[in-house]
Amino acid sequence: MQPMQKNQFSNLLIIFLIFSCEQPREMPMVNGQPESCLLCHAEMQGFVTGHLPVLIGCSGCHLGQPTERDKNDAHANMLLVPGNIAEAEESCGNRICHPDYAKWVPNTLMSTGRGIVSVNRFVFGESDSPDGPGHLSQLGNSPADKHLRQLCASCHLTLPKTQPSPISERSRGGGCTACHLQYSDEAKSQFQNYKETGELPTQHPQLNVQIRDENCFGCHSRSARISTSYEGWHETLLAVEDVQPDSTFRIFQDGRVFSRQAQDIHYQRGMSCIDCHTWRETMGDGTRYNHQEEQIEIVCDDCHFTGKPRTISIDSLRQHDLQVLGKRRWQSLVKTMLRLKKSGSPLLNSFIDSTGTAKLILKNSGALRDLRPPSAQCGTTIPGHNRLSCQTCHTQWAPTCIACHTEYEPQNTSFDHLQQKDVPGAWIEYADGQLPVPPTLGVQKEVIETFIPGMILTISSQEKNLGNSGGDEKIFRRMYAPIRAHTIGIKARTCESCHNNPRALGYGEGKLEFFTTYAGYGKWVFTPTYANHPEDGLPADAWIAFLQPSPSSEATRSDIRPFTIVEQQKILSVGACLTCHEGTKQNIDQIYGKYSQSLDNLSEKCLQAGF
């Protein structure tokens, strides 16, 4: 046998190495199915138990082709960002995971923005009702819909998230992951390193039920400014260069400047948004609602009640409630919980302890809070006050914009949030006079609630057929909108701040005074702060005329109205007494708690004062 030449040995070595490398590693199996993703991504960590790749694989969320070994083949049809509404039923909502929620979430207001669309079309004169259908991802090209496409259509869950990223103040859309995806500090660090170097992370963000306020902030710091108000921040018209960020001012990532105001008492006590708001309110229950207040099922006296609590036993819970409760660390505490008055559903993070005390469990921290009853003066102690909602008295302030102007400029361009690109023509909004002040009061379904100027605005345009009108005609609307400001305080507003306050009654900002005339009778005089609007003659910020029939009394809901003239007179009759007899506890008990008797027994001094 001839000795092997050096080049022959080299060739054999190469063939051996090639043969060895081509020997396939054993394909990982998950639930009896091949999962080739784990050939490359087995080191990925950071998952909660229910989402461990050894239990559901990577393809359970990201899809792709888990039977393929080649990288490109395996990544075919992969979802880089799972959970977007368009693919939710294939990823998060596949049949072994969360199929019901994947059907319900697309119909929620957070996905559709139905009320925003219908109200906007109503304002533009394109609809006869603020309660119509609509969807922020299915807008047309009418003036109202263009207005939404450019100014509002980024804030809804249906907007797809196209690139992975941690939640920030500017986060929008993303379907399921908008709420449930949480980046740890390590995951954020590795993600940033990946963007800079291309090195694949080994720390995956968690998918869990520990939803932080940051997840809500991106959308809910716009529109009614709920998230910002809850934390005690009010939007100003200041520019970034006008302030220094400190305890007084905060500059947001989008360049808006906010000033410090009173925080909501629940925020001060460490409560997150999800400590009050239930899974039905956010993920839906299969019902299509028109407006936010219809979908919200919790009210203040579900937690702050007098007398015997409404309860439900854990043994009576339905499947989905049991599933949600099972995700929590504290489910062993909960045997008997509070039952919500409006829907009859359980408040899953509440329980009655061995002493009969109602307690709330903070969902993210597990901390306990006692649920205290309301003050004895709340409710029906004073005649007529049984119509008041809790927030009527306990809302400290609400973000109030005096007036605004919307104008269409065809010569400019603007970003279309649905097309994700600049388009010809731009809707521009000009705001003026933003104030953090106590809200106006009015009536919704015969309950006295809180309101702010929602649509006191002029809409002008140079395009044809604006709101079914021609040429350069303008649309003027004077509408108030309901507000649950999320600025609740322990101390209620004073009697005078309702009965003697022109803003509370709907007249707008100004001076409201009670005088005794020479003829011996009392007279109220209102001097508005703002000039009358040329369109209807009312003060620029008013909802109604002062003790007179109003040109209009519109609202952004069909079941809302301001106070009638008779109601105004009743409110002001108490206000007249308050000019001398302050709303102290003693006077409330002796005068206002028995108001009809008090009017029948007026003193000589009161009669001389014009009552």
Q: What is the pLDDT of residues 396-419, one digit of tens each?
A: 999 998 877 788 888 899 999 999
Domain tally, the chain? 2
Tens-place pLDDT, residues 453-509 = 988 888 887 554 554 444 557 889 999 999 999 999 999 999 999 999 999 999 999
∠ CA 428-430-436, rounded to 5°? 135
Instruction: Please report how the helices 143-151 and 114-123 are oriented relative to each other, as an axis angle in degrees rounded to 10.
Output: 130
Question: In this structure, are 340 and 404 located in the same domain?
Answer: no
Q: Is residue 413 part of a domain?
A: yes
Q: Work out the pLDDT band at 123, boundaries 50, 70, 90.
A: very high
Tell me how far CA of residue 98 lies from CA of 113, 212, 277, in angstroms.
Answer: 23, 21, 20
SS3 of residue 219 by DSSP: helix
Q: Is residue 456 part of a domain?
A: yes
Question: In this structure, are 398 and 479 located in the same domain?
Answer: yes
Q: Is residue 209 part of a domain?
A: no
Cβ contact 349:358 at 8 Å: no
Cβ contact 334:325 at 8 Å: yes
Looking at residue 126, its pLDDT comes to: 93
Rounded average pLDDT over 289-311:
94
What are the structure tokens assigned to 391, written together? 């927030």
- If we measure between CA atoms, which residue out of 265, 284, 273 comes closest to residue 220? 273
Of residues 546 and 21, more confidence is placed in 546
Name the DSSP letter for residue 546: T
What are the structure tokens assigned to 194, written together? 């990946």
Question: In this structure, are 413 and 521 located in the same domain?
Answer: yes
> Facing residues of 481 across strands?
452
∠ CA 107-224-278, rounded to 5°? 45
Q: What percent of the chain has pLDDT over 70?
A: 93
Query: CA-CA distance, 307 to 309, in Å (whole number)?
Result: 6
> Facing residues of 584 across strands?
none
Question: In this structure, are 421 and 451 located in the same domain?
Answer: yes
Q: Which of 341, 370, 399 corresponds to the end of one domain? A: 370
Question: In this structure, are 287 and 318 located in the same domain?
Answer: yes
Query: CA-CA distance, 593 to 611, in Å (whole number)?
Result: 18
What's the pTM value of the predicted model, to 2 decimals?
0.91
Q: Is residue 601 part of a domain?
A: yes
Q: Which of 332, 347, 370 corresponds to the end of one domain? A: 370
Q: Is residue 180 part of a domain?
A: no
What are the structure tokens assigned to 486, written together? 């999320």
Looking at residue 19, its pLDDT comes to: 40
Q: Is residue 540 part of a domain?
A: yes
Across all residues in the chain, what is the average pLDDT? 89
Residue 13: pLDDT over 90: no
Rounded average pLDDT over 191-211:
94
Residue 41: pLDDT over 50: yes
- If we measure between CA atoms, which residue out of 536, 531, 537 comes closest to residue 432? 531
Looking at residue 406, its pLDDT comes to: 82
In sequence order, what are the residues at sequence separation of 6 or more whose Cβ sits closer than 8 angstroms to the Cβ of residue 295?
A: 108, 109, 281, 284, 287, 289
Question: In this structure, are 510 and 553 located in the same domain?
Answer: yes
Q: Is residue 377 part of a domain?
A: no
Looking at residue 21, its pLDDT comes to: 40
Q: Work out the pLDDT band at 236, boundaries 50, 70, 90.
A: very high
Looking only at Cα atoms, what is the longest distance across the chain? 138
Question: In this structure, are 312 and 430 located in the same domain?
Answer: no
Looking at residue 434, its pLDDT comes to: 86
- If we measure between CA atoms, which residue out of 396, 394, 466, 460 comes closest to residue 429? 460
Q: Is residue 121 part of a domain?
A: no
Least confident range of 99-103, 221-225, 509-513, 600-604: 600-604
Phi and psi, residue 542, nearest 5°:
-80, 160
Residue that the structure tokens 């007279």 belong to: 523
Question: In this structure, are 317 and 280 located in the same domain?
Answer: yes
Q: Which of 347, 370, 393 corresponds to the end of one domain? A: 370
Question: In this structure, are 348 and 405 located in the same domain?
Answer: no
- 3-state SS, 337-386, equals EEECCCCCCECCCEEECCCCCEEEECCCCCCEEECCCCCCCCCCCCCCHH
Domain extent, residue 321, equals: 273-298+305-370
What are the structure tokens assigned to 209, written together? 């039920």
Query: CA-CA distance, 139 to 129, in Å (whole number)?
Result: 17
Question: In this structure, are 346 and 459 located in the same domain?
Answer: no
Question: In this structure, are 344 and 398 located in the same domain?
Answer: no
Q: What percent of the chain has pLDDT over 90?
A: 73
- If we measure between CA atoms, which residue out of 302, 307, 443 comes closest to residue 376? 307
In sequence order, what are the residues at sequence separation of 6 or more whose Cβ sits closer than 8 angstroms to the Cβ of residue 218?
A: 155, 167, 168, 169, 170, 171, 172, 178
Query: CA-CA distance, 149 to 426, in Å (whole number)?
Result: 10
Question: In this structure, are 364 and 389 located in the same domain?
Answer: no
Query: CA-CA distance, 538 to 531, in Å (whole number)?
Result: 8
